[in-house]
Amino acid sequence: MEKDDDEARVSLAKEGLPADGDAGASALKEAGGEAPLDAFVSGAAYAVLGLLGGLFGLVGSFAQDWYTGPVPIPAIVLAGLVFVMARLSGMGMGGRLGATVPALVWGIVVFVMTMRRPEGDLIVPGSLSGYVFFVGGLFAAVIGVMMVPPAGPPGAWLTARAGRARE
């Protein structure tokens, strides 16, 4: 009796029909939506990417003012790393939204760090290194987002659907 059940499941799977009792999630995936677990995992991945962008913006704001001679090499390197962060996160999530989230959070954090506090404190000054870090980083983030090809459902790499083509 168990062998007949296995054969029935194999034939149903070959026809593309759900072979188990999880017909609702399969129907949702076929309709172009995401199953609840897929949506939760994708949302958690975007939250982690946002935290990554915020942390990078905070640490970079404090590290950008180091000089190597007259050239602000750390600011240039940090702006390049913003490009790398946006590009890799977009490629990892399979679309431009994955690149936009950490780049946007990075930009917000760095923008807040450029504001003068009532006490007169300033984290990112209006010097050459500050401009290279902020403006160069924004430019690098936009280029990084634009270089990510728009394709695939969000978070497909997390749910093992990255290798499948959309129909």
Q: What is the pLDDT of residues 91-134, one digit of tens each?
A: 988 888 899 999 999 999 999 999 988 887 788 888 888 899 99
Higher pLDDT, 56 or 95: 56
Q: How confident is the model at residue 28 (pLDDT cuts 50, 70, 90)?
A: very low
Nearest to 129 by CA among 59, 77, 82, 57: 77
| Tokens (6 digits) for 129 | 């290194």
List, for residues 148-159, the tens digit of each pLDDT value: 987 655 666 666
CB 86 within 8 A of CB 144: yes
Q: How far is it, in rounded angstroms, from Cα 66 to Cα 124?
A: 11
Q: How confident is the model at residue 164 (pLDDT cuts 50, 70, 90)?
A: low
- When pLDDT is averaged across residues 77-103 and rounded to a whole number, the result is 93
- For residue 25, what are the contacts with CB-CB under 8 A and spacing of at least 6? 35, 36
Predicted model pTM: 0.69
Q: How far is it, in rounded angstroms, from Cα 136 to Cα 38?
A: 35
